[in-house]
């Protein structure tokens, strides 16, 4: 036997029904502070801002891209006789 129940409600209605707190009032100032910090960093030095936000992951992505292109060009080079 299979029973399916569909509930059509907004996230706010579901949160209220489940008794969960509404954290929007707490999240809004944090989000605004993060946006302001990002704006300040991007306006002064975008490269430093990207390194601060993405850390070593950005460098790893760059290294992986370089390795991919090196392999691509090695495999597409004509075979030497």
Read off the pLDDT of residues 20-78 as tens digits, 9 standing for 90 and up. Answer: 998 888 999 999 998 898 788 777 777 777 777 777 666 777 788 888 888 888 776 66
Closest CA to 53 of 65, 66, 39, 63: 39
Tell me the whole-structure pTM to 2 decimals. Answer: 0.41
Q: Look at residue 40 and give its three-state secondary structure.
A: helix
Closest CA to 24 of 38, 12, 9, 39: 12
Taking the CB of residue 25, how many other CB atoms lie within 10 A of it?
A: 8
State the Cα–Cα distance between residues 78 and 80, nearest whole angstrom. 6
């Amino acid at each position: 036997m299979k029973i399916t129940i569909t509930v059509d409600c907004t996230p706010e209605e579901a949160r209220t029904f489940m008794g969960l707190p509404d954290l929007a009032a707490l999240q809004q100032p944090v989000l605004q502070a993060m946006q302001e910090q990002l704006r300040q960093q991007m306006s002064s030095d975008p490269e430093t801002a990207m390194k601060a936000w993405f850390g070593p992951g950005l460098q790893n992505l760059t290294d992986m891209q370089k390795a991919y292109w090196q392999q691509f060009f090695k495999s597409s080079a004509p075979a030497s006789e």
